[in-house]
Amino acid sequence: MPTREKILVALSGGVDSSVAALRLVREGHDVAGAYMKNWVNEDGVIGDCPWEADIADARRSADRLGIEFSVVNLMTEYRERVVQYLLDGYANGLTPNPDTRCNREIKFGVFGAWARDHGYAAVATGHYARRDGAALHEGADPQKDQSYFLALLQPAQIAAARFPLGGLTKPAVRQLARDAGLANAEKKDSQGICFIGQVKMSDFLRAYVPDRPGPIRRIQDDRELGGHRGLHYYTLGQRKGIGVPSNTDGERYVVVGKRAADNALLVAFDHPAAPGLFQREVRVHSLSWTGAPVTAGQSLEGRVRYRDPRVPLEFVPEGGGLARIRFATPQRALASGQILALYAGDRLLGGGVYV
């Protein structure tokens, strides 16, 4: 039996966090649940922000498990540390990742500090990742592994984190929920922005970042093909919703860049030779390590985005939180602002942000 701990579970209202709490209760820990109230749709953003229903679902799970439940208001911190980061990034032509930011700054940041202040030894979530002492590893279910989103966590945050679902598959989690009589056993997973709900990113950006129209130009010859509403609506590698039709041969355009000088969205036909679409070498900044910093010469792999397989790479540190990354094979559409997660086998070593 594991050592009994006082653990606060971040109950989101979904099945994963509820089963995380269930497993910890069954292991004999002193467990309580809390819902992080990070966003209320007070600004009228188009979309479904079901925070009230989520709180009700989280409370029902806590009642079923016989654990205390509370709501922790982190709206100010979330707006300052995640929403503003997101908006600033898009306004500056980047494609930021709010989920990795939310994990470091909110779930295992201010929420973790709130838990410590209230006497809890650890915070548990429904992430599909495995913690072995001070080390983080991929979740056992390759279809649900979420270690990528934990790439920017600090060692102290990992030490106080618990991931009860790391060794389970999603079907097994739902079966545990059914067997335990949890009302959210069949609830669909949220696909929205981290803790904002079912809000499309384009709708969210439209509400907060002013449109700045400009031309769409073909990168090979700088021919103007149309117009766009604002560069912040597009990301490198995007194929749908560009607003430029395929040519007569059925070739589709893909976004290959953004040019600040004339506010132009750059496109090319979608094939491996498209300029700027594939990169063998990139730089990353804001390097963060889950343990000891990585040095040059180590055999590493990287996950260039969530759900992509790990790929071999060469890591060349440059100092000041910067590094040059050389991939064994060219990688598609590495957008500035996104996250590169670094691994040694299935162990998560840390990550950085594409320059």
Mean pLDDT, 10 residues at a time, the chain of 355 residues: 90 97 98 91 59 92 98 95 95 93 97 98 98 96 96 98 98 98 93 62 88 96 96 95 82 95 96 94 97 88 97 96 97 97 98 98
Residues 177 and 224 in one domain: no
pLDDT of residue 191: 64
Are residues 26 and 173 located together in one domain of the fold?
yes
Q: Please say which residue of 156, 177, 203 terminates a domain.
A: 203
Q: Residue 170: name the closest of 149, 196, 194, 145 by CA.
A: 145
Give the per-residue pLDDT at 96: 95
pLDDT for position 310: 98
Q: Are residues 223 and 344 in the same domain?
A: no
Dihedral sign for Cα 177, 182, 184, 189, please: negative
157 and 44 together in one domain: yes
Element (H, E) at 205: helix 201-208
CA distance 311 to 304: 8
Single residue among 161, 181, 203 that ends a domain in this structure: 203
How close are the terminal C-alpha atoms of the chain, in Å?
46
246 shares a domain with 163: no
Domain, as residue range, for 287: 278-354
Q: What CATH number does residue 224 fall under? A: 2.30.30.280
Residue 7 has a pLDDT of 98
Could you tell me if 355 and 282 are in contact, meaning their C-beta atoms sit under 8 angstroms apart? yes
* pLDDT the model gives residue 11: 97
285: Cα separation from own chain's centroid: 17
Q: What pLDDT score does 196 carry?
A: 60
CATH of the domain at 30: 3.40.50.620
Last residue within a domain, chosen from 185, 203, 221: 203
Give the count of domains, the chain: 3
Give domain status of residue 199, yes or no: yes
Q: Are residues 35 and 116 in the same domain?
A: yes
Predicted pLDDT at 44: 58
Q: Who contacts 304 (Cβ-Cβ below 8 Å, separation ≥6)?
A: 311, 331, 334, 340
Q: Annotated active-site positions, please?
A: 102, 194
